[in-house]
């Protein structure tokens, strides 16, 4: 049985300006012990998708439809009590924003101990020992001293590591890591990624990793979902995505990575602005910015929404171009950027 299955997930928020369709028809599966990476533009719905899996969309005016099944339990219809017992235990999340996810008025020691207490009947002493152990694991020096610190006394990266310790403390079966290492230098980052891999090996954890760092994706992911404008525009295995990207947006993403030899030159970026989720462009959501759209295909791109279709073994893409056209665009663009042999 599939461990986590998300199908036709839709999340919308009603706001003063109109309804924001933040996630529209997203489907994917994640098996135990595997890592799914979600990449995509800022505002494309990555965090909203993962928050839906944690059943965190409880605000008024928020609508969540579709199915989310975790180990046979339907998250969308589960009772709040059931969800509370699962959050932080079977499923845990490292939040994107470490500043607002730690309580400013409590010492980090008591916040960590509380995370243990919430799910296990343990003594104060045991909870503290567990907190210490985790702080050590995430590479915080002087952990005894740090247990007494308030969040504002920690550096940005230390706060992020405390968040990570909190998410891992109960050995979750599903871990959602939303930009888990943005505040960390590369050596600490490598250590944290290693820790995640260890955890995964030990508990057979399924990981959903959201990151804009394609280097981390290359290191960690088994499968990748690319999101744009609230929908999946490409889904592929690790190697296919990096070496045979299909969707023009994915190609653009791969070519805007800063490279060491491009130092001092202007970086390539995908021109234009992200789409408004209230007023999505008609046709392909990416069409106003698409460099692959040729005059021949343009009318279709501008009027007809492409479906997500399978174009290779386990590779799906949402684009009107045919195989040859897509491949030609990808090859030419990547050669332009990365040069030949």
Partner 1 sequence: MVSDQEILKVTDLYKKFPITKGALLKKEVGSVNAVNGINLTLNESETLGLVGESGCGKSTAGRAILRLLEPTSGKVEFEGTDITTLSRGEMVPMRSRMQMIFQDPFSSLNPRHTVGSIIGAPYEVQGIKPAGGVKNAVRETMERVGLNPEHFNRYPNEFSGGQRQRIGIARAVTLRPKFIVCDEPVSALDVSIQAQVINLLQDLQDEFGIAYLFVAHDLSVVRQISDRVAVMYLGHIVEQASRDDLYTHPYHPYTHALLSAVPVPDPKVEAQRERIVLRGDLPSPINLPSGCVFSTRCWQAQDKCHTDVPELQDMGNGHKVACHFPIMEFLGNSLIIGPDSGMTEQPDRVVPPPSEVLQSLQGGRATRPKGIDYAEGEEPI
Ligand X SMILES: Nc1ncnc2c1ncn2[C@@H]1O[C@H](COP(=O)(O)OP(=O)(O)OP(=O)(O)O)[C@@H](O)[C@H]1O
Site for ligand X in 73-102 (CB under 6 A): 96
Site mask for Mg ion (CB under 5 A), range 20-59, x = bound? ---------------------------x------------
Residue 234 touches partner 1, criterion: CB under 8 A = no
Count of residues in the chain = 341
Return the number of the residue (3 or 95) whose C-beta is nearest partner 1.
Answer: 95
**Token pair 């109960």: residue:** 170
Site for Mg ion in 58-97 (CB under 5 A): 96
Is 13 within 8 Å of 61 (Cβ atoms)? Answer: yes
Residue 201 touches partner 1, criterion: CB under 8 A = no
**In angstroms, rounded to a whole number, what is the distance separating the alpha carbons of residues 148 and 160?**
17
Q: At its nearest, how many Å lie between Mg ion and the CB of residue 208? A: 12
CA distances from residue 209 to 40, 93, 311, 326 in whole angstroms, order as listed: 12, 10, 24, 27
E strand map for 140-293? 174-178, 206-210, 223-228, 231-237
Which positions touch ligand SF4 (CB under 6 A)?
248, 284, 286-287, 290, 292-293, 297, 301, 306, 319-321
Residue 109 touches partner 1, criterion: CB under 8 A = no
Residue 153 touches ligand X, criterion: CB under 6 A = yes
Least Cα distance to 148 among 131, 134, 133 occurs for: 131
**In angstroms, rounded to a whole number, what is the distance separating the alpha carbons of residues 178 and 225?**
14
Return the number of the residue (144 or 322) whose C-beta is nearest ligand SF4.
Answer: 322
114 CB burial (10 A radius; 0-12, 13-18, 19+) = middle
Return the number of the residue (136 or 303) whose C-beta is nearest ligand SF4.
Answer: 303
Residue 205 touches Mg ion, criterion: CB under 5 A = no
Q: At its nearest, how many Å lie between ligand SF4 and the CB of residue 249? A: 6
Q: At its nearest, how many Å lie between partner 1 and the CB of residue 324? A: 8
Residue 208 touches ligand X, criterion: CB under 6 A = no
Residue 111 touches Mg ion, criterion: CB under 5 A = no
**In angstroms, rounded to a whole number, what is the distance separating the alpha carbons of residues 125 and 134?**
14
Q: At its nearest, how many Å lie between ligand X and the CB of residue 300? A: 26
Decide which of ligand X, Mg ion, ligand SF4, none touches 131; Cβ closer than 5 to 8 Å per partner kind. none
Decide which of Mg ion, ligand SF4, partner 1, none touches 341; Cβ closer than 5 to 8 Å per partner kind. partner 1
CA distances from residue 177 to 19, 54, 64, 181, 196 in whole angstroms, order as listed: 27, 12, 21, 9, 10
Q: At its nearest, how many Å lie between partner 1 and the CB of residue 54? A: 19
**Residue 120: how many other CB atoms lie within 10 Å:** 13
**In angstroms, rounded to a whole number, what is the distance separating the alpha carbons of residues 15 and 225?**
28
Residues at the contact surface with ligand X, assessed by CB under 6 A: 13, 15, 20, 22, 40, 42-48, 59, 96, 152-158, 183, 277
């Amino acid at each position: 049985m599939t461990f986590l299955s998300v199908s036709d997930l839709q999340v919308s928020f009603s706001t003063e300006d109109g309804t924001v369709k933040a996630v529209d028809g997203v489907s994917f599966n994640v098996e135990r012990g595997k890592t799914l990476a979600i990449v995509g533009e800022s505002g494309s719905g990555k965090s909203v998708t993962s928050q839906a899996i944690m059943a965190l969309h409880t605000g008024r005016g928020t609508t969540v439809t579709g199915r989310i099944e975790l180990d046979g339990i339907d998250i969308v219809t589960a009772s709040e009590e059931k969800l509370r017992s699962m959050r932080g235990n079977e499923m845990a999340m490292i939040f994107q924003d470490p500043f607002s996810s730690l309580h400013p008025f409590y010492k980090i020691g008591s916040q960590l101990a509380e995370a243990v207490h919430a799910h296990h009947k343990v003594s104060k002493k045991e909870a503290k020992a567990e907190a210490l152990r985790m702080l050590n694991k995430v590479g915080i020096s002087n952990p005894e001293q740090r247990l007494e610190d308030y969040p504002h006394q920690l550096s940005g990266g230390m706060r992020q590591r405390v968040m990570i310790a909190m998410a891992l403390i109960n050995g979750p079966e599903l871990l959602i890591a939303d930009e888990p290492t943005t505040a960390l230098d590369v050596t600490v980052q490598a250590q944290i990624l290693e820790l995640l891999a260890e955890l995964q090996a030990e508990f057979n954890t399924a990981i959903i990793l959201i990151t804009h760092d394609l280097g981390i994706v290359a290191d960690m992911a088994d499968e990748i979902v690319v999101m744009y404008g609230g929908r999946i525009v490409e889904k592929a295995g690790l190697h296919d995505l990096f070496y045979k990207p299909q969707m023009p947006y994915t190609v653009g993403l791969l070519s805007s990575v800063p490279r060491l030899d491009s130092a001092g030159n202007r970086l390539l970026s995908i021109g234009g602005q992200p789409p408004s989720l209230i007023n999505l462009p008609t046709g392909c959501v990416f069409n106003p910015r698409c460099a692959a759209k040729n005059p021949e295909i343009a009318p279709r791109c501008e009027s007809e929404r492409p479906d997500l279709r399978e174009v290779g073994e386990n590779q799906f893409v949402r684009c009107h171009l045919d195989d040859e056209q897509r491949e030609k665009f990808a090859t030419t663009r990547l050669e332009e950027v990365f040069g030949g042999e």
